[in-house]
Structure 1
Amino acid sequence: MHVLRLLLLALLSLAHVACLSQGTTLRVKDLGKLQGWRDNVLVGTGIVTGLAGTGDSPGNRATRQALSNVLSQFNLTVPPEQVNSRNVAVVMVSAALPAFAREGDTLDVTVASSGDARSLVGGNLLLTPLRAPDGRIYALAQGALSVGGHRYDANGNVVQKNHPTAAAIPNGATVEVGMPPSAQARSHVTFVLAEPDYTTANRVAAAINSQVGAGLARARDAAGIEIEVPAALQSEPVGFLARLENVAVEPDRRARVVINERTGTVVSGGDVRLSRVAISHGDLKITIANLNSVSQPAWIGRTGPGVATAVVTNTEIGVEELTGVGFLAGSGTVADLVQSLARMKTSTRDIISILRAVKAAGALHGELVVQ
């Protein structure tokens, strides 16, 4: 029975090592995108109405002028000087136009106050044109605002949650002008990696040549792979691009450790190597305690000048220095180090300091990213 248990443990260990030795196979579409596929930024200026006295102040000239312009479109002539309302706010409206947007598609809209409004809760955005950098109108936005916060004040007391001056309108914009189709007839396309890497680019080109067609792909640099579209498929490239997206490839991975000092987060690949290094991390702990005792006169019943009960304070100061020393072999990894420090109940802040010191000593063989 003992022999069978040892054999089972050995088989499990071999299976674990085999899984670690195998890399992660991904599709090409998960590593990047074709050159030219990008979102287009749209922006516009609009008016939010229906606010319960939390809009822009009456002294805001931009709000008065904007509201006067809107009323003039409905044959109402109101000079800006006569506009006096706190139920209106001037806002900036933005959205992202996808690469394959068509007429009639809807977009999510972000609305942010540009004046001195206190809250946009309960507001409604009037029809607002959204323009691209070329000045052309591509979408129209309108609808009720969804605010993820609130702000209420009375008699000098203020209760606020999140940012009530920013809001969103899901599917609040309608595309009026669609983007031209990107899959037009072409002889070459360029695939761009999300994380440039020469090894990954070479592997992607080799995988395309072996799984789609020999000599079609060539890695130009660490980010771009130029792919030739066969002449028979240039008029209808969708099927060919679909095959390219599903090509399986094993990407390379950089040795990288990411540290966020604000949140105390450490994220590292399990295979980031460490050279042989000795680590000594000390912590000085100082304890100060005040002990109060009562001092009585020699004769309790004795009275007279200067004879009274006195309170005496004694201060005790304790200094304790806690030091942990660890040695890492040449085959150690950052994961081994973090696990060892965690077992020693080392705080995350101390782990971050130790990793930065190890990197400065030249023993951490990877990129240390501090956020």
Structure 2
Amino acid sequence: MQTQGISRRGLLAGAAAVGATATAIGSGGPARARSIARGLQWRGVGYEITDGGYPATGWNANRMRHDIRAIRRDLHANSVTVFGDGVERLLATATEAAERGLRVWLQPRLADRPHSEILDHLAETARGAERLRREGASVNLSVGCEFVLFVPGIVPGDDVFERIENLQSGNFDPERMQRRLAAFIGRSAAMGRSTFHGPISYGAAEGEVVDWSLFDIVSVNYYAFHQHRSAYVRQLRRYGRWGKPVMISEFGSCTYRGAPKDGGMGWAIVDYDGTEETIKPGYVRSERTQARYVDELIGIFSELGLYGASVYSFAVPDAPHRPRRKYDLDIASYGLVKPRWGDRHRPTADWTWEPKEAFYAVARRYGREERRPDFGSNPSNR
């Protein structure tokens, strides 16, 4: 199974399934609230570190440095969410981002492994994050992402895909799921606190019930679609009721007409059953659709004065853009750039990427935020 397949197909399907089985995120205790001002303080993008489905698409230090420069210089982001498994890759990427002046949201994701291994991976990441923090880096630690999906034993299923199926079919006990989820979130929060002494958070799916008193930041992966702007505003305002900063840890859209309505299920337009992955019939590539959606949401997040937001995602190397619609896997990608392979069937080391319309839409929005006198000129917001 390809690493990218787990991270994207599993993550987004799981987010949709979790959202369908829970009604609200649980409230935490009292906390310090930041003063709300109009504008988006932390303007971010997600950056995945992975082995890749092919040797050429795996994490590469030189390519990573090039990408981080583009995130800071061309997208005008002032933060980046570095996520995935492999502590050395996580910390090398976080170090490069910090040296470029970016705030780092560091999030280890180790899927389908025993609890002890997941917690050990978190502890090692937290130790590295604390070293960076003590050296002066601006870094937050997220203790994980959507545990209902990625952590065994919370929902029935031997792997992430079986758990997705059980969530969607209702083959689970909601009360037992919640008890196990709360217990593992609690263990993870305690592990993070014991080692890392900066702000901590957790990347929750919409609908996951989380005790936010354990965390400094309310952090939600948000793939909602509404016809009217006012509906987004009403929904997002509820996350402020804990009196804590609100971070949209993920948001985005695939690259076809109607994709925002599909939200976290955009990956499902890929047919994985044949000898080669293809796009199912009836879906039309539309970079403009993706661009409009992310542009609108950044505007809403800014209007609400949220603490930060991170677009999912910078690149999906295993989903190349190809001339024929049937094989254009980038249609089902949330990436802001489109990978181009030299060979249709597998990438070579010199594969490239090109910005999509969404890339330019994010750059314009973030550029305007950067120039705001109340945010862009304040060194603490960089």
- TM-score range, shorter-chain basis? under 0.3
- Structure number with bigger Rg: 1
Asked which structure has the greater RCO (Cα within 8 Å, sep 6+), the reply is 2
Higher helix share: 2
TM-score (norm 2): 0.17
TM-score (norm 1): 0.17
